[in-house]
Structure 1
């Protein structure tokens, strides 16, 4: 029986990669220094896994930005707009790579970044491959080969990991009509075969192909592509051991397909779907091994060794130990790095810490499960300790609050409905708010400079008193209000300078949450988040945002939005307790947010934004499971938003989502205004709203805040005119596509001034049209 890992966090236990990338992007370090940081992280990861007893250690799971983008570069799927970046001899391959991820605005060039979206139902973002009808592929980058050689030089023979060709195509997007991207499989496969030949020449034994789409609904054409690809690979490389990794769900109707593929070993996710093991064991062919995904790669709770050992025994009894591997359920990039870094009991109590397991500890859990399954006696004390920790969690007084449970049970139909329809509310809001056509606003946050972050750090350390800290935040808030007034923005925000993260900030003030000091997880590129841990019943002890929203409103005669994170997003972007249904936890959070919304209205805040960027990412991977999720997710949002009067305007924000297939559910949320990401997709996402005849108001993002480039007014006017063709002018708002927290002030000011100018141009066009 082998121990196997599918992937390990690449950010470094102290976010070394984030810091190195940002230093390079800002021009404060060399590419050699950046590359060296990557080399050191890989070395540490490989050596740690070897020492822990992992037999199949992954390579090519490291990335400077995103593994899907890595593959696009590897197979030469480089959109034509970046070719001028390639031709500039001063640019390296990494510069081209970062241009594709972040955009490029120098050397007289102004090139937009590639689209970004969520990786299945996680909070990780990947760079979406772009495909043309005649798309050609060629081996462009040798990263996969180079990192394998690097591991061998360290004396560690790794297992190269690569996204399978079928999943890679399905992750992408057709950039012109008239073809299905899966039809490109015959163009793409030769590059994979070339890579495998080079790996075979280097005496690679194992290669891991990630094919997560085997856990999703597939077309017949997709199924044929799977059969074609893996038959060709087996024919060309009969001695190469292919580990085919599926995760995030059960194979279900793809079970027969997966078990028919000529691969050495199939990996299945037994955390998301333990029940699939019995069906797979009944039909698994004699030539195929099985990798059991037993350790949760997406959550932070300690493994239940007894439950895992039961699954291992049932598998071993059927096919024997020799055909089994013990593994995490998926790559550990979705887990924080190391629980041992959590040494501050004031942040994370010892009682709760004993229930947790981060990536480093999950590696140990895989090794210990292997020892226990093989009856190695030295592992028995670890089994006893595991039982004690899990029993402690079940019996702890920290977990349950009867008052919260009773309030959830007492929710009525009226609690998730606004008093009147949107048509009635819209007229009342127009009278109360008196906003112009194409009202301008931002999504909420403004740049959090190093100085602002240092205030928060000093305050937490006690180097700043509460009074000193509050005065600094007040000053920054007032300056931001004044800038927005001077720029001519119509609906202002307070800037959120007192907030660390849009989920963490609320979790810190809600009961049932706890936090970590170093529990960072990559969200995209250099962006890392530190998800809260929901361990018990949730409620709001005190108001959370009223003080700063009311202060900002007192500074101006313009309207200031109250800014909240919605219940589904708080749930999705936290590590959630696994001892009750997620729907129950989400409803508890919804009631807490509802209390905050009501208090904001009482404080004179007439526009309140409840961000729900994670609504779509929470969708189950199978469409047959969608309705149950959407029913409780939409209901949770409505509970949070429905305690206010009709003339109070409720906004919500969603980013990086395809809306076509859930547009009715988005409408059912009944937000007065929805702001969405549209700039990278060139307003394509608006088609869903237009086709549906979405009745409420919409703010399609007119510039991409995830790129440092500053778009010109004309570019935003062009996008707004595209929006006007499908959405009535009376329904359109003008805004960036996301919050501005990670941007710099200089680019932010320039971009927002251009945005306001673009809105004015649109108003002039409408006025001229009316006059004519």
Structure 2
């Protein structure tokens, strides 16, 4: 058998089966039993896919109804007080999504990916106790179906590193309380079989950790690896190198290390220490974060280099990280350009790549069967074809971007804002929303039917304009001051633009889990980027023609378009980003020339693109700020530029946000209180700010009183002249019956506060 290993596998299903059944359950259209049944079918199907592809080390407990960090909270009984009276699925989903009485737990990005995890809330008062039911049941379920799995766990040090202390202490102080629960868990696992591999994920080790964190590694893994001789512990890190942790881990009794050799090339510097320890090395070479076909010849060369230091028998071939971050399968991509399709590999195809690389490395080309030989030849051919394809290279675009000289707006903010205030005449505490309104079943159906060719463009356009009219009428009735058109024509804030930019590809079924049941279908950048024609002008100018109020133009910024796309791997990311920025500068110019006075350029993913290591941050900030400023450089002084950022801790990047020089920034603060906002005051931030005053990721409707309190808290931090009032994110995923009362309450709260301020 080949030594092939997968860190983790997607769980949403090849046709988003988990998403669909969860949303039926939340809408009370099916029982939780149905969710359990669908989930069981998915787990079995996913295990069999991996087994049939020749994967030797397959995971259990990589499945989750919502999020693996949330699962770990349940496993440890790390449950916030406000949910203590709940049980089972009601407890679980209330922690994730909130309920009528309690706000949901905070959610933020999983390292520098587009996946979100639920942030654990910890306290010194917590009483941790083991709940191993899910972990044990899934292992047994696989075993009953003839599949021996490794068990995936999120490690104790990473769990603490990703948590927050609600009593303001240091999360790592709780290490001595949590570690015994992990020991107890491993004892329970050891009863399940004669030999079990337990993969403990510690991605926190790839960051720049303080000595206090590094000092926890040896005592933790000395203890965990000695719980039972039946257990073989593999510590997995990914997304970067983990040299510092590896130096320590090789001196513990763990079985092996799973390291990322794609995004953490410096892991090569740890080979001698790993070799001396005689531990297994799981070599992450097949990209778990991108969709490009692996260059198998290159992967074999890397393995040969590694095997000069680490004994071949101690090497296993793996994905670089969990395949959770890639779409499921190319099988349903029937409309994609056939040439481009040969360059791609989704999760299912990556299984075959891992198996083929492993077989070639361990057994040689002469031992491949006929099908494997053909697959290897196809791989070589596809990679050669991609290097020279005319679909990729556009000399006109390269030259224009190279010659582009307008790198920022001409006027200072202080001068621009005076002109804008005079022209736009908006009040203090101006009300607006972030951009999208609910995407109803009717809107989705019309868009889907048009894409399938089942309705004409005229019918589709009429449907979209009818919905825009509805959104405008509601906002005017509600009393919102700066309007949006609702974005019914947009399937996704990045895919929509990707479909209209040259050099972009898109898929029919390339869905990736973002959080819970929320899936996104990122476009992919395969070639040089340009904008053949205006992308948003017709829709926005139509909306503006239907109201006397100001209508915001809505664009996604260059860095977010980049970070929420699968990006070509044959060109530096900063060069790709600059191409997008130049294209967007043309769109902004077209919008303002068409009479649009406020344009929002969302950079929701600006923070998540940050490198995980300090040494790489300045380079990223330099080009990310450069490209935002290039995108808005065409804006006249009277055109007000807004931006929106979410899921961000701003303390460490506030100077970078200032350097972006947007006129107004809206930010997501509802789940994290006013802590984020205080930094804006501390640095003397001059531009205007729209802190989200309620959480849109929860179905609960905030009361007027609650929102008044929230606005008053904002006013303790920033003056009314500097504040805008808005929800904390777009309303696309919510329902009108939640949106309408929430926004009406928001406007009423602003009116009450304004009256009091008079």
Q: TM-score range by the shorter chain?
A: over 0.9
Kindly report which structure 2 residues correspond to 1:181-200, keeping only aligned pairs within 5 A, or say none: 181-200=171-190
How far did 1:129 drift? 0.4
Matched residue of 1:738: which SS?
Answer: coil
Which residue pairs with 1:130 in the alignment? 121
Q: Does 1:103 align with 2:98?
A: yes
Task: Confirm or deny: 8 A CA contact 2:271 2:306 kept in the other structure.
Answer: no
Matched residue of 2:642: which SS?
Answer: strand
Matched residue of 1:614: which SS?
Answer: coil
In the alignment, the residues of structure 2 paired with residue 395 and residue 417 of structure 1 have an alpha-carbon distance, to the nearest angstrom, of 35
Q: Does 1:492 align with 2:483?
A: yes
How far did 1:468 drift? 1.2
Matched residue of 1:660: which SS?
Answer: coil
Which residue pairs with 1:22 in the alignment? 23
Task: Confirm or deny: 8 A CA contact 1:294 1:326 kept in the other structure.
Answer: yes
Task: Confirm or deny: 8 A CA contact 2:528 2:579 kept in the other structure.
Answer: yes
Matched residue of 1:84: which SS?
Answer: coil
In the alignment, the residues of structure 2 paired with residue 281 and residue 687 of structure 1 have an alpha-carbon distance, to the nearest angstrom, of 47
In the alignment, the residues of structure 2 paired with residue 331 and residue 471 of structure 1 have an alpha-carbon distance, to the nearest angstrom, of 43
Which residue pairs with 2:62 in the alignment? 61
In the alignment, the residues of structure 2 paired with residue 642 and residue 315 of structure 1 have an alpha-carbon distance, to the nearest angstrom, of 48
In the alignment, the residues of structure 2 paired with residue 129 and residue 285 of structure 1 have an alpha-carbon distance, to the nearest angstrom, of 37
| 1:130-157: CA deviation from partner (whole Å, max 9, x where unpaired) | 0113333111352111111111111111
Kindly tell me: are residues 241 and 54 of structure 1, through their superposed partners in 2, closer, same or farther at Cα, counting changes over 3 Å?
Answer: same
In the alignment, the residues of structure 2 paired with residue 153 and residue 238 of structure 1 have an alpha-carbon distance, to the nearest angstrom, of 23
In the alignment, the residues of structure 2 paired with residue 314 and residue 748 of structure 1 have an alpha-carbon distance, to the nearest angstrom, of 57
In the alignment, the residues of structure 1 paired with residue 178 and residue 661 of structure 2 have an alpha-carbon distance, to the nearest angstrom, of 44
Which of residues 498, 512, 531 in structure 1 aligns to 2:522?
531
How far did 1:416 drift? 2.2
Kindly report which structure 2 residues correspond to 1:246-645, keeping only aligned pairs within 5 A, or say none: 246-281=237-272, 284-344=275-335, 348-373=336-361, 374-375=363-364, 376-378=367-369, 379-412=372-405, 415-645=406-636
Matched residue of 2:601: which SS?
Answer: strand
Kindly report which structure 2 residues correspond to 1:34-53, keeping only aligned pairs within 5 A, or say none: 34-53=35-54
In the alignment, the residues of structure 2 paired with residue 142 and residue 422 of structure 1 have an alpha-carbon distance, to the nearest angstrom, of 57
How far did 1:318 drift? 2.5
Task: Confirm or deny: 8 A CA contact 2:243 2:266 kept in the other structure.
Answer: no
Task: Confirm or deny: 8 A CA contact 1:115 1:681 kept in the other structure.
Answer: yes
In the alignment, the residues of structure 1 paired with residue 674 and residue 134 of structure 2 have an alpha-carbon distance, to the nearest angstrom, of 34
Task: Confirm or deny: 8 A CA contact 1:455 1:469 kept in the other structure.
Answer: yes
In the alignment, the residues of structure 2 paired with residue 283 and residue 207 of structure 1 have an alpha-carbon distance, to the nearest angstrom, of 19
In the alignment, the residues of structure 2 paired with residue 260 and residue 633 of structure 1 have an alpha-carbon distance, to the nearest angstrom, of 40
Task: Confirm or deny: 8 A CA contact 2:271 2:310 kept in the other structure.
Answer: no
Task: Confirm or deny: 8 A CA contact 1:11 1:17 kept in the other structure.
Answer: yes
Which residue pairs with 2:638 in the alignment? 647
Task: Confirm or deny: 8 A CA contact 2:206 2:238 kept in the other structure.
Answer: yes
Q: Does 1:209 align with 2:197?
A: no
In the alignment, the residues of structure 2 paired with residue 688 and residue 81 of structure 1 have an alpha-carbon distance, to the nearest angstrom, of 28
In the alignment, the residues of structure 1 paired with residue 52 and residue 728 of structure 2 have an alpha-carbon distance, to the nearest angstrom, of 45
In the alignment, the residues of structure 1 paired with residue 61 and residue 77 of structure 2 have an alpha-carbon distance, to the nearest angstrom, of 17
| 1:415-453: CA deviation from partner (whole Å, max 9, x where unpaired) | 222221111111111001000110000000001100110
Task: Confirm or deny: 8 A CA contact 2:599 2:640 kept in the other structure.
Answer: yes
RMSD of aligned alpha carbons: 1.2
Task: Confirm or deny: 8 A CA contact 1:209 1:243 kept in the other structure.
Answer: yes
How far did 1:282 drift? 5.3
In the alignment, the residues of structure 2 paired with residue 255 and residue 516 of structure 1 have an alpha-carbon distance, to the nearest angstrom, of 39
- 5+ residue gaps, structure 1, are 87-92, 768-772
Task: Confirm or deny: 8 A CA contact 1:255 1:280 kept in the other structure.
Answer: no
Deviates more, 1:624-633 or 1:257-266: 257-266
Task: Confirm or deny: 8 A CA contact 2:604 2:645 kept in the other structure.
Answer: yes
Which residue pairs with 2:649 in the alignment? 658
Normalising by structure 2, report the TM-score.
0.98
Task: Confirm or deny: 8 A CA contact 1:607 1:649 kept in the other structure.
Answer: yes
Task: Confirm or deny: 8 A CA contact 1:440 1:735 kept in the other structure.
Answer: yes
Q: Does 1:721 align with 2:717?
A: no
How far did 1:274 drift? 3.1
Matched residue of 1:53: which SS?
Answer: coil
Matched residue of 2:486: which SS?
Answer: coil
Kindly tell me: are residues 252 and 230 of structure 1, through their superposed partners in 2, closer, same or farther at Cα, counting changes over 3 Å?
Answer: closer
In the alignment, the residues of structure 2 paired with residue 515 and residue 571 of structure 1 have an alpha-carbon distance, to the nearest angstrom, of 14
In the alignment, the residues of structure 1 paired with residue 475 and residue 590 of structure 2 have an alpha-carbon distance, to the nearest angstrom, of 25
How far did 1:283 drift? 5.1
In the alignment, the residues of structure 2 paired with residue 237 and residue 575 of structure 1 have an alpha-carbon distance, to the nearest angstrom, of 42
Task: Confirm or deny: 8 A CA contact 1:76 1:141 kept in the other structure.
Answer: no
In the alignment, the residues of structure 2 paired with residue 612 and residue 597 of structure 1 have an alpha-carbon distance, to the nearest angstrom, of 15
Task: Confirm or deny: 8 A CA contact 1:136 1:188 kept in the other structure.
Answer: no
Task: Confirm or deny: 8 A CA contact 1:303 1:365 kept in the other structure.
Answer: yes
In the alignment, the residues of structure 2 paired with residue 626 and residue 488 of structure 1 have an alpha-carbon distance, to the nearest angstrom, of 42
How far did 1:262 drift? 2.6
Matched residue of 2:526: which SS?
Answer: strand
Matched residue of 1:285: which SS?
Answer: helix
Matched residue of 1:236: which SS?
Answer: coil
Matched residue of 1:638: which SS?
Answer: helix
In the alignment, the residues of structure 1 paired with residue 511 and residue 90 of structure 2 have an alpha-carbon distance, to the nearest angstrom, of 26
In the alignment, the residues of structure 2 paired with residue 740 and residue 674 of structure 1 have an alpha-carbon distance, to the nearest angstrom, of 17
Which residue pairs with 1:166 in the alignment? 157
In the alignment, the residues of structure 1 paired with residue 74 and residue 543 of structure 2 have an alpha-carbon distance, to the nearest angstrom, of 46
How far did 1:175 drift? 1.1
In the alignment, the residues of structure 1 paired with residue 309 and residue 12 of structure 2 have an alpha-carbon distance, to the nearest angstrom, of 39
| 1:485-537: CA deviation from partner (whole Å, max 9, x where unpaired) | 11000000000011110000000100000111011000001000001010000
Task: Confirm or deny: 8 A CA contact 1:675 1:700 kept in the other structure.
Answer: yes
Kindly tell me: are residues 570 and 539 of structure 1, through their superposed partners in 2, closer, same or farther at Cα, counting changes over 3 Å?
Answer: same
Normalising by structure 1, report the TM-score.
0.96
How far did 1:377 drift? 3.2
Q: Does 1:704 align with 2:695?
A: yes
Matched residue of 2:724: which SS?
Answer: coil
| 1:354-376: CA deviation from partner (whole Å, max 9, x where unpaired) | 00000001011110011101212
In the alignment, the residues of structure 2 paired with residue 525 and residue 535 of structure 1 have an alpha-carbon distance, to the nearest angstrom, of 29
| 1:30-87: CA deviation from partner (whole Å, max 9, x where unpaired) | 111010010000000101111111111000000111111011111100000001323x
How far did 1:321 drift? 2.3
Matched residue of 2:510: which SS?
Answer: coil
In the alignment, the residues of structure 2 paired with residue 668 and residue 75 of structure 1 have an alpha-carbon distance, to the nearest angstrom, of 42
Task: Confirm or deny: 8 A CA contact 2:250 2:273 kept in the other structure.
Answer: no
In the alignment, the residues of structure 2 paired with residue 642 and residue 728 of structure 1 have an alpha-carbon distance, to the nearest angstrom, of 28
In the alignment, the residues of structure 1 paired with residue 454 and residue 476 of structure 2 have an alpha-carbon distance, to the nearest angstrom, of 33
How far did 1:275 drift? 4.5
Which residue pairs with 1:150 in the alignment? 141
